[in-house]
Amino acid sequence: MPALVYPELKPWPQPPETTTELDYAPLAVLDFAKWDAPGGKEELAAQLKEASHTMGFWTIINPGIPQDVLDTQFALANTFFTLPQEEKEEITFIPGESCWGYRPPGTIKGTEFKENLEMVNMHKFTEGTNYPRHTFMKRYEPLITSFQKLVFEQVINKIFVLMAIMLELPENHFTDMHKFEKASDDHVRFIKYRTRTVEEDKAVSDQWMAGHTDFGSVTLLFPQPIAALQVRTPEDEWKWVRYVPGGIVCNAADLIALMTKNYVKSAIHRVMRPPPDQANLERMGIFFFVRPTNDVIIKPNFSPVLQREGLWTKEDEEFKDEDAATCGEFVIARMQNFNPSRTKEQRDKEVLKVKQWEVVNKYI
Ligand SMILES: O=C(O)CCC(=O)C(=O)O
Ligand SMILES: [Fe+2]
């Protein structure tokens, strides 16, 4: 590993891959090294079309993010989580009220057990955004911003170009809605999962994070080798997500599903106790949650593909922008509705209404 530019950051050594045979989901692997080759983008778009329409999950290899850049972000996460508790709690969020800053382990719904995860959500550092930030994060602002920008250029923009190609739309269709420089709720999350004993995990059915969909457009999960993430397949089975060295796991989320009439699937996923050879290792996750800019109107987006598939209706044609929620309104409503203290029964009965949209919670 090359020397860290910030020597005071504590490196996060990545453990070996599991050798346990797991029932893996058949995820497409998109090789971004093909991007500039003749026909490369078209080939990748065809892969993404199939993957996003079926599993809602795929993996990108050769994403153009140097390993030492990733190592530094993992070291930043590790250093943050080893701060004294009062420094971590400088900016703390309460689910349902806001989502910026640190969240200590909560209590698992319906039980007296504590979660084994703590997280911190860092809004992108752009002009005009004024969310509270940890003193610690402010110190590393150039490091955080340069990483987020690089990921935006190398990976996020390209995913949206491919989505446009696969839906037979102009290449800038989705990139115009997702701009790093413009106000939106794009954010990076660090999660540290602590180990639990077999008995402790048994009491919570081995679950570390309940099944859910993500709220935004797409989510990126940066490479880390501890198997724990599972995806709900179209056949309604849980399958493990395979670690691919250097590969970024991506999932489509609710807003892109709404805009594409569910052609792109917002996949349900959850986090479980890792296999025995990794269950005694702490797991560090780094995620990029991508959302449209706040001014984007959340509405069905016409596409010849949706039309051919019979998904495009008269109501979609007559959709009135003035009746529709913007992404900013949508995200606030969704975040305030996310109250993990409610029971599953309470949540299941509830449908969140945001102007014309009815959002059915899919927490399982
Ligand atoms: O830890 C993981 O792999 C997934 C976390 C996740 O799904 C989330 O934070 O929304
Ligand atoms: Fe998630």
In sign, the C-alpha dihedral spanning 1, 145, 119, 155 is: negative
Question: By alpha-carbon position, which residue is closest to atom 3 of ligand 1?
Answer: 229
C-alpha–C-alpha distance, residues 62 and 228, integer Å = 23
273 lines ligand 1 (CB under 6 A): no
Coil, strand or helix: which one is 230?
Answer: strand
Decide: 244 and 286 in contact? Cβ < 8 Å.
no
Per-residue pLDDT of the chain (364 residues; tens, 9 = 90+): 444 568 899 999 999 999 999 999 999 999 999 999 999 999 999 999 999 999 999 999 999 999 999 999 999 999 999 999 999 999 998 777 778 999 999 887 777 788 999 999 999 988 767 788 999 999 999 999 999 999 999 999 999 999 999 999 999 999 999 999 999 999 999 999 999 999 999 998 999 998 999 989 999 999 999 999 999 999 999 999 999 999 999 999 999 999 999 999 999 999 999 999 999 999 999 999 999 999 999 999 999 999 999 999 999 999 988 888 999 888 877 777 766 555 666 666 666 777 777 766 655 5
C-alpha–C-alpha distance, residues 47 and 217, integer Å = 18
Rg (CA), the chain: 20
Question: By alpha-carbon position, which residue is closest to atom 5 of ligand 1?
Answer: 271
| Alpha helices by DSSP H, the chain | 40-54, 67-81, 85-88, 135-139, 141-151, 157-166, 198-203, 254-259, 304-308, 314-317, 327-337, 344-349
Which atom of ligand 1 is the closest one to the Cα of 283? 1
At residue 354's C-alpha, the angle toward residues 208 and 303, to 5°, is: 90
Q: Measured in angstroms, how far is the CA atom of residue 120 from the centroid of ligand 2?
A: 14
Question: By alpha-carbon position, which residue is closest to atom 8 of ligand 1?
Answer: 214
| ipTM surpasses 0.90 | yes
271 lines ligand 1 (CB under 6 A): yes
Among the bound ligands, the one closest to the CA of 193: 1
Tell me the two tokens of residue 92: 């703390």
Coil, strand or helix: which one is 266?
Answer: coil
Site to substitute for ligand 1 among 191, 215, 224, 254, most atoms within 8 A of C-beta: 191
Residue 114: per-residue pLDDT: 87
Q: Measured in angstroms, how far is the CA atom of residue 87 from the centroid of ligand 1?
A: 24
Q: Measured in angstroms, how far is the CA atom of residue 228 from the centroid of ligand 1?
A: 10
Which atom of ligand 1 is the closest one to the Cα of 241? 3
Residue 95: per-residue pLDDT: 76
298 lines ligand 1 (CB under 6 A): no
Q: Measured in angstroms, how far is the CA atom of residue 45 from the centroid of ligand 2?
A: 23
C-alpha–C-alpha distance, residues 86 and 89, integer Å = 5
Q: What is the DSSP letter of 97?
A: T
